[in-house]
Amino acid sequence: MEILNKLVYAEPENQQAKDLLADTFEQIGYQQESPSVRNSFLAAAFELRNGIPQGASPKTAGPDVLRAMSTSLYLDFLGIRMDADRAEGMTFTINLITPDNGEKFIVEMSNGALTNIEGFLAENPDLAITIDRSDLEAVLMGQTSFDDQIKNGMARLDGSDKVYEQLKSTLVDFQLGFEMMPGTGGVRDSDQTNPFEAENPIIPE
């Protein structure tokens, strides 16, 4: 495996070497007790033979799942989606208030990280965002954008609009396909376009 792995990295277009490495990965994968380790080897074997899998990615988040997502979890999700390099040098504090369920949060950008504290509000935030949780759910599900909610008066911004634009500029889409092994194809672009959307869910017909 070590010899073939180095050969594939040295010659990414060498399909014969890739096929041999795929055979090796497959046999090692079959011997694993851990499902995650087994799946990693088998996925790499598939990719070496066939390239990155194409087609739509599985969707596990439906409307009910997104409605059940807590606001705190959603803010954590935004923190995961944030590109720390884009956020370099940014420092600001946002108060988020959802009046219909009585929730309030401090959202802070500092040291390239976006964090939140539930149940508190900053005394002098750079920006305060007020939006009903039910209207936020429409954003999560991709039914509308946060910008549209602001234009329609469903969300209110008090303070610096620049902070909102800064936050939006740091959010990136997850790439749904990427090379595990060299020479197996380019990155498949994500189809997500709304920076505050949680995931493109399956909407029942």
Model confidence over 32-91: pLDDT tens digits? 999 999 999 999 999 999 988 776 666 555 677 777 889 999 899 889 889 999 999 999
**Domain 63-170: which CATH number of 3.30.1050.10, 2.40.10.10, 3.30.465.10, 3.30.450.40:** 3.30.1050.10
Mean residue pLDDT of the chain comes to 86
Which pLDDT score is estimated for 48? 94
Cα(31)–Cα(131) distance, rounded to whole angstroms? 52
Regarding predicted confidence, which is higher, 189 or 135?
135
Model confidence over 128-155: pLDDT tens digits? 999 999 999 888 877 888 899 999 999 9
Contact 164, 31 (CB under 8 A): no
Residue 186 — pLDDT band, cuts 50, 70, 90?
A: low
Which pLDDT score is estimated for 77? 86
**In the chain, beta strands by DSSP E:** 92-98, 103-110, 113-118, 127-131, 155-159
Q: What are phi and psi of 35, to 5 degrees?
A: -60, -40
Q: What residue has token string 């999700």?
A: 77
Which pLDDT score is estimated for 143? 82
Cα(136)–Cα(134) distance, rounded to whole angstroms? 5
Asked if residue 205 has pLDDT above 50, the reply is no
Which pLDDT score is estimated for 204? 39
Which pLDDT score is estimated for 202? 39
User: How is the chain split into domains, by residue range?
Assistant: 2-50, 63-170
Question: What is the side-by-side order of every strand in the sheet holding 113-118?
Answer: 113-118, 103-110, 92-98, 127-131, 155-159
Asked if residue 176 has pLDDT above 70, the reply is no
